Amino acid sequence: MPGHSSHLRSSSFLLIFLVTALLLLVHAFGYARRTDSHFLPTQLSFIVENGISNFNGSVAVPFGRQAQAANSFSPIHHYTRVKRALGEDRQCLVEKGKQYWEKGVLPAFDGKSEFPNPNFGNSETVLEGSGWTSFEELEPLPKWWKDTLKKAKGKVSKSDIRKIILDQSHDFENDFGAQTRTSAQYYGRYIPQNNAVLMYVVRSPRSKVAARQVPQDEIFKQIPRMNQLSDLVWFTWSRVAENPGSLRYYGLEGITNAIVKPLMLEIFQARRGTSDVPWDKRVTFDLSSDEGKALFGSPLGVAVNWLLIHHAGVLGRREPRVTIWNPKNTNNLGDNFCMIWDLIPKKKKGSFGKVEKEPKT
């Protein structure tokens, strides 16, 4: 029948239209999901896009299109959180760096810091009692540091430098009784001639114990009393430098930390559009930027925090700047993520280039 046939055709067209619309909707939703979010390692956790909120469990980190289009610093631009030491609380890296600076470093000059210096008593005794062994040898100035000094128009030392290895190689006792050695290691180059400490192996007691699948809230029971990188660096620096207050540069080479490396990679992509960032394309931040605050509050920036907080009386007022770069394929080793902190004394100029400005939106 003509009327019935016309009705079937209309129904068919309507069905085709609805199916097409549904497919387009699914495709659009999938595209939005792909463009608005991606996944980061489990160490990074979610923060809602326009604020800070508690979150437990997921590793999906959605970034808004507007932030991406503006080439802004997406991973920690008020969005990313990291587990704190005991893994119970999560705090934005940016906010953490800001808190350290405002509540720790700045008030420390008035003796009102919220982060008091731990009293280790006789450091030598504590070092041995914590199971640490120190090895020392001389070696030539590393080529990358020599080149860095030249390009920054700094003084290049012609003498050998002191490489000092701290190895947590002995069993020890802490407040919880006898403990097994952690096999933690800190390798550093201590260069009083350049007022510099350059670390290139950082394997902390905490990370070593965590690798044994120890619950987060039990880790602190199995690590030595002297375990913080900042305490061990300062103790070692104080032994080799005639004037410990002369410390100006604190560098890290070959960074592999599971939180800091992705953080640096995101900064490189946002600021330089590539992960291949040689010294000539280095990126420098002060603590007025979110990037600077995040690096200051990161697991490897914490050592700088504690150095400035705990030793303000010796170091005096400093204005830290951080420079990061990745001279890929150095010695055919692939990535070689590097970070150096310039702890600028009051009324002095920075050494490693101009501070990055906020990207235009």
Residue 345: strand pairing partners: 318
- pLDDT for position 59: 24
Q: How crowded is residue 316: how many other Cβ atoms within 10 Å of its Cβ?
A: 13
Q: Mean pLDDT, to the nearest integer, of 216-244?
A: 90
What CA–CA distance (Å, rounded) separates 289 from 285? 7
Tokens of 355: 């501070």
Query: Which of 194, 158, 154 has the alpha carbon at shortest distance from 349?
Result: 154
Amino acid in position 269: Q
HSE value, Cβ hemisphere, 13 Å, CA-based, for 217: 2
Residue 100 reports pLDDT greater than 50: yes
Residue 84: band (very low, low, confident or very high) from pLDDT cuts 50, 70, 90:
very low
Query: Which of 346, 339, 267 has the alpha carbon at shortest distance from 303?
Result: 339
Residue 83: band (very low, low, confident or very high) from pLDDT cuts 50, 70, 90:
very low
250-287 pLDDT, tens per residue?
999 989 888 888 889 989 998 999 989 988 899 999 99
142-200 pLDDT, tens per residue?
777 887 777 766 677 777 788 999 999 999 998 899 999 999 999 999 998 889 999 99
Q: Scanning the structure block, which residue is given the tokens 């802004």?
A: 72
What CA–CA distance (Å, rounded) separates 269 from 73? 9
Mean pLDDT of the chain: 74
Tokens of 208: 């070593």
Q: C-alpha distances in angstroms, 205 versus 160, 182, 202? A: 30, 6, 10
- pLDDT for position 38: 26
Q: Mean pLDDT, to the nearest integer, of 336-344?
A: 93
Torsion, Cα 151 187 91 322, to 10 degrees, reads: -10
Question: From the DSSP assignment, how many helices (H) and strands (E) are in the chain?
Answer: 12, 15
What CA–CA distance (Å, rounded) separates 74 from 85? 24
Residue 79: band (very low, low, confident or very high) from pLDDT cuts 50, 70, 90:
very low
